[in-house]
């Protein structure tokens, strides 16, 4: 019986140009684990399927996203520490800038967090019998929750994804709940523009020549539901160490405990050493510690092959030695590929390695997309990860006698 760490490097999988970042990176620690452990290739959501980060993480932790994905909004809201109730409809929300009826900047000039916080109270309000609750996070980002009777997530988004008029929200199914929710969202869009345009903070920004944050764009609508907790499902306690709110949201959704780590920002300068130390701490009280590193994906989206390679090298140098020190079983993988040549998620498999003392080993000596093709794990999907990880830890429940 052993504890385990699962390291998920977001979007780490890639395509050869001619080497993938995992092939190009100097990563002696990950390669040593591949050599001593057993490797394979993982398609979190299904062979060839292009996963979102949220659906992929759910799948890896044994929650079939086709059944229990609540949408991005609720996961973001949970990740920001908002408490959700069954039936709440939540959205991913962005401060943005409107001029002459047109959304001219979808991020309000990447408004600084302090400035966004100064106006955030104005975004919460009550419309009809619905509480509209907003919380901002980093820069322009935040989440919005609608709480009240008879709501539905079947409504369109209000993010135009381009310089264009603010889209009207409409019901995407023929139900009173969806029509009501669309009506509330449209009243919110009007009211929030009115409130924000009068905010002193925005007057100050205007004087400084900064774009006003005078509207809030909504997308990723989802209805909050509950799922059986990670501990109920698997009989083990899980802890999450992640800079990005979405990942903490997934972890909270399934009942993991969240360890907040100062310096773990979810961006390219995240403090990997601090995350490693937090992982060791979390292992004292939890069976499984989920460590998430976001930046590989961000470099992939930017098409920055060199940046992605260096990020993998940083993980190997700054994070891996601490994880290895723990003596825990280690699983390392990604949630999907984000090939630099595509700048977006793809359905290509990601390498996975599993290491434990006295476990089986294969002939693979490198942790990358090509070497792991010959691995002893073969090709697996997300649903296989938890049973295999529990078995690695010696904590699988026997079925039958």
Residue 228 is a binding residue for a copy of itself (CB under 8 A):
no
Q: Which helix (H) or strand (E) holds 380?
A: strand 378-381
Q: Pick from 10, 31, 54, 297 the residue near a copy of itself by CB under 8 A.
A: 54
Q: What's the burial of 304, exposed, middle or buried (CB within 10 Å: 0-12/13-18/19+)? A: middle
Q: Pick from 105, 346, 353, 367 the residue near a copy of itself by CB under 8 A.
A: 346
- Closest approach, Cβ 389 to a copy of itself, in A, equals 7
Q: Pick from 7, 8, 25, 45 the residue near a copy of itself by CB under 8 A.
A: 45
Residue 327 is a binding residue for a copy of itself (CB under 8 A):
no
Q: Pick from 348, 352, 353, 367 the residue near a copy of itself by CB under 8 A.
A: 348
Beta partners for 354? 38, 331
The torsion angles phi and psi of 218, rounded to 5 degrees, stand at -120, 135
- Taking each helix axis from N to C end, the angle separating 245-253 and 72-79, rounded to the nearest 10 degrees, works out to 100
Residue 207 is a binding residue for a copy of itself (CB under 8 A):
no
Binding marks (x or -) toward a copy of itself, 64..83, rule CB under 8 A? -x---x--x-----------
Cα dihedral 162→76→7→42 (10° resolution) = -60
Q: Pick from 19, 32, 36, 49 the residue near a copy of itself by CB under 8 A.
A: 49
Residue 235 is a binding residue for a copy of itself (CB under 8 A):
no
Whether 240 contacts 248, CB under 8 Å: yes
Residue 56 is a binding residue for a copy of itself (CB under 8 A):
yes
Residue 373 is a binding residue for a copy of itself (CB under 8 A):
yes
- Closest approach, Cβ 136 to a copy of itself, in A, equals 19
Distances 357 to 317, 324, 394 between C-alpha atoms, Å = 22, 12, 11
Q: Pick from 28, 48, 228, 263 the residue near a copy of itself by CB under 8 A.
A: 48
**Alpha-carbon gap, residue 19 to 34, rounded angstroms:** 18
Q: Which is nearer to a copy of itself, 207 or 398 (CB)?
A: 398
Residues 6+ apart with CB under 8 A from 123: 93, 132, 134, 136, 142, 144, 192, 195, 196, 216
**Alpha-carbon gap, residue 35 to 169, rounded angstroms:** 53
**Region from 101-109, 209-217, 263-271, 352-360 binding a copy of itself, contact rule CB under 8 A:** 352-360
Q: Pick from 52, 79, 109, 351 the residue near a copy of itself by CB under 8 A.
A: 52
Binding marks (x or -) toward a copy of itself, 241..280, rule CB under 8 A? ----------------------------------------
Looking at residue 374, the DSSP 8-state letter turns out to be G
Residues 6+ apart with CB under 8 A from 183: 128
Beta partners for 196? none
- Closest approach, Cβ 81 to a copy of itself, in A, equals 20
**Region from 123-131, 173-181, 258-266, 379-387 binding a copy of itself, contact rule CB under 8 A:** 379-387
For tokens 């010959």, name the residue.
374
Residue 125 is a binding residue for a copy of itself (CB under 8 A):
no
Q: Pick from 19, 32, 50, 125 the residue near a copy of itself by CB under 8 A.
A: 50
**Region from 54-62, 138-146, 189-197, 323-331 binding a copy of itself, contact rule CB under 8 A:** 54-62
Q: How many CB atoms lie within 10 A of CB 239?
A: 23
User: Parallel, antiparallel, or unpaired: how do β-strands 238-241 and 288-293 relate?
Assistant: parallel
Q: Pick from 4, 16, 63, 98 the residue near a copy of itself by CB under 8 A.
A: 16
- Closest approach, Cβ 184 to a copy of itself, in A, equals 22
**Region from 27-35, 178-186, 231-239, 365-373 binding a copy of itself, contact rule CB under 8 A:** 365-373
- Closest approach, Cβ 284 to a copy of itself, in A, equals 24
Provide DSSP, 317-348.
IIIHHHHHHT--EEEEEESSB--TTTTS-B--
* Residue from 251, 221, 226, 227 nearest 239 by CA: 251
**Alpha-carbon gap, residue 270 to 304, rounded angstroms:** 17
Q: What does the binding site for a copy of itself look like in residue numbers (CB under 8 A)?
A: 15-17, 41, 45-56, 65, 69, 72, 220, 341-342, 344-348, 358-362, 369-370, 373-380, 384, 386-391, 394, 396-401
């Amino acid at each position: 019986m052993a504890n385990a760490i699962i390291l998920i490097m977001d979007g780490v999988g890639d395509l050869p140009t001619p080497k993938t970042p995992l092939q190009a990176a100097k990563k002696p620690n990950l390669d040593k684990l591949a050599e001593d452990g057993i490797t394979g290739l993982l398609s979190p959501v299904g062979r060839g399927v292009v996963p979102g980060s949220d659906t992929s993480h759910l799948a890896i932790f044994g929650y079939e996203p086709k059944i229990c994905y609540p949408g991005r909004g609720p996961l973001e809201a949970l990740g920001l520490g908002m408490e959700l109730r069954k039936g709440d409809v939540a959205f991913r929300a962005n401060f943005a800038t409107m001029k002459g009826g047109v959304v001219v900047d979808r991020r309000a000039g990447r408004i600084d967090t302090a400035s966004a916080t100064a106006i955030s109270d104005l975004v919460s309000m009550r419309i009809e019998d619905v509480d509209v609750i907003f919380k901002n996070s980093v820069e322009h980002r935040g989440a919005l929750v609608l709480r009240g009777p008879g709501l539905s997530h079947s409504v369109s988004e209000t993010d135009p994804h381009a310089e264009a008029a603010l889209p009207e929200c409409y019901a995407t199914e023929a139900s009173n709940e969806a029509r009501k929710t669309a009506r509330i969202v449209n009243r919110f869009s009007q009211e929030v523009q009115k409130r924000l345009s009068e905010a002193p903070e925005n007057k100050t920004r205007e004087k400084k020549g900064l774009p006003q944050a005078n509207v809030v764009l909504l997308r990723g609508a989802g209805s909050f539901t509950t799922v059986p907790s990670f501990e109920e499902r698997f009989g083990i306690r899980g802890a999450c160490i992640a800079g990005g709110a979405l990942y903490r949201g997934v972890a909270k959704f399934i009942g993991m405990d969240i360890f907040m780590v100062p310096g773990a920002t979810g961006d390219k300068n995240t403090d990997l050493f601090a995350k490693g130390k937090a992982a060791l701490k979390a292992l004292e009280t939890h069976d499984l510690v989920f460590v998430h590193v976001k930046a590989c994906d961000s470099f992939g989206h930017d098409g920055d092959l060199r940046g992605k390679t260096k990020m993998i090298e940083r993980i190997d140098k700054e994070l891996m030695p601490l994880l290895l020190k723990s003596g825990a079983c280690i699983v390392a993988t990604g949630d999907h590929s984000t090939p630099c040549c595509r700048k977006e998620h793809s359905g290509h498999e990601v390498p996975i390695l599993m290491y434990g003392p006295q476990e089986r080993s294969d002939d693979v000596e490198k942790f990358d997309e090509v070497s792991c093709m010959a691995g002893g794990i073969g090709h697996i999907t997300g649903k296989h990860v938890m049973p295999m990880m529990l078995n690695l830890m010696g904590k699988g429940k026997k079925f039958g006698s």
